[in-house]
């Protein structure tokens, strides 16, 4: 393709998309307050950035990752009720480092929860940006607390390569067969995309940035498991 051609093609495509977009009519519409479609709402003072969601297998509990907190909501009760809350902020030293690296203490140096997945029947796995120092942890579903070590401190794991440093970057995560597949930015600058496979018993796999088959400004939006024949590598 000749240079200069691509922007033009893209332009046409965008215009076409806009034209199509204006004719799209939703299959179903409900007015706000329509008794036929009850909408439950939940918010809590001091909790912002409800970014990450996970529905329990029985469909009764919605886990929500926000800023410096993970919530468990009972969505079968009306109104929606708070069943559990895990406060999880970056340590003061992590916040100081974050501010030292010229990030904002008011908007960025928090723990934005970006991964919340069902690891197995008893545990969730979660990761957050943790003041530009991505960190992961296990959640015990039964009592909705972070799993702790022998000293009672949360058992934290390095989250680099699984969760973004910067809350502005998108990421994706999926559990398949007890293994975690993620797509995110691998570095502080946010220009090194990486896809990886971790947890489980097999060796950790990561895409090699030297091969640069992922574009520097890749944005990860979603991931799916395409089941293959039994026994085939995923």
Positions in the binding site for ligand NAG (CB under 6 A): 60-61, 74, 76-77, 83, 95-96, 99, 105, 119-123, 138, 140, 142-143, 145
| CB-based contact 194:206 (threshold 8 Å) | yes
Least distance between ligand NAG and beta carbon 211 (Å): 31
Least distance between ligand NAG and beta carbon 51 (Å): 20
- What is the layout of strands, in order, in the sheet containing 172-176? 172-176, 179-185, 193-198, 205-206
Least distance between ligand NAG and beta carbon 95 (Å): 5
Given the complex with ligand NAG, which of 138 and 165 has the nearer CB atom?
Answer: 138
Least distance between ligand NAG and beta carbon 112 (Å): 15
Given the complex with ligand NAG, which of 101 and 188 has the nearer CB atom?
Answer: 101
Structure tokens, 88 = 């999880």
DSSP 136-192: EEEEETTTTEE-B-TTS-B-EEE-TTTS-SSTTS--EEEEETTEEEEEEE-SSSS--
Distance CA 169, CA 217 (A): 10
Residue nearest to ligand NAG (CB): 77
Distance CA 108, CA 105 (A): 6
Least distance between ligand NAG and beta carbon 91 (Å): 12
Least distance between ligand NAG and beta carbon 204 (Å): 15
Cβ-Cβ contacts under 8 Å for 67 (sequence gap 6 or more):
47, 48, 49, 110, 111, 112, 113
Given the complex with ligand NAG, which of 194 and 199 has the nearer CB atom?
Answer: 199
Given the complex with ligand NAG, which of 22 and 203 has the nearer CB atom?
Answer: 203
Given the complex with ligand NAG, which of 125 and 165 has the nearer CB atom?
Answer: 125
Given the complex with ligand NAG, which of 93 and 212 has the nearer CB atom?
Answer: 93
Structure tokens, 214 = 């992922």
Distance CA 193, CA 127 (A): 17
């Amino acid at each position: 393709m000749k240079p200069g051609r691509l922007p033009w093609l893209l332009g046409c495509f965008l215009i076409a998309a806009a034209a199509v977009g204006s004719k799209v009519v939703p299959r179903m519409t409900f007015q706000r307050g329509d008794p036929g479609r009850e909408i439950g709402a939940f918010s809590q003072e001091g909790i912002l950035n409800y970014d990450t969601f996970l529905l329990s297998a029985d469909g009764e509990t919605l886990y929500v990752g926000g800023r410096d907190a993970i919530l468990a909501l009972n969505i079968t009760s009306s109104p929606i009720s708070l069943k559990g809350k895990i406060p999880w902020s970056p340590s003061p030293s992590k916040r100081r480092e974050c501010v030292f690296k010229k990030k904002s203490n008011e908007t960025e140096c928090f723990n934005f929860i970006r991964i919340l997945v069902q690891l197995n029947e008893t545990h969730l796995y979660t990761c957050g940006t943790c003041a530009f120092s991505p960190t992961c942890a296990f959640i015990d579903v039964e009592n909705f607390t972070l799993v702790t070590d022998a000293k009672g401190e949360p058992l934290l794991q390095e989250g680099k390569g699984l969760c973004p440093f910067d809350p502005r970057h998108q990421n994706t995560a999926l559990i398949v067969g007890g293994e975690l597949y993620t797509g995110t930015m691998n570095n502080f600058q946010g220009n090194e995309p990486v896809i990886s496979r971790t947890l489980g018993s097999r060796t950790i796999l990561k895409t090699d940035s030297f091969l640069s088959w992922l574009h520097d400004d890749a944005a990860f939006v979603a991931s799916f498991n395409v089941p293959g024949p039994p026994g085939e590598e995923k």
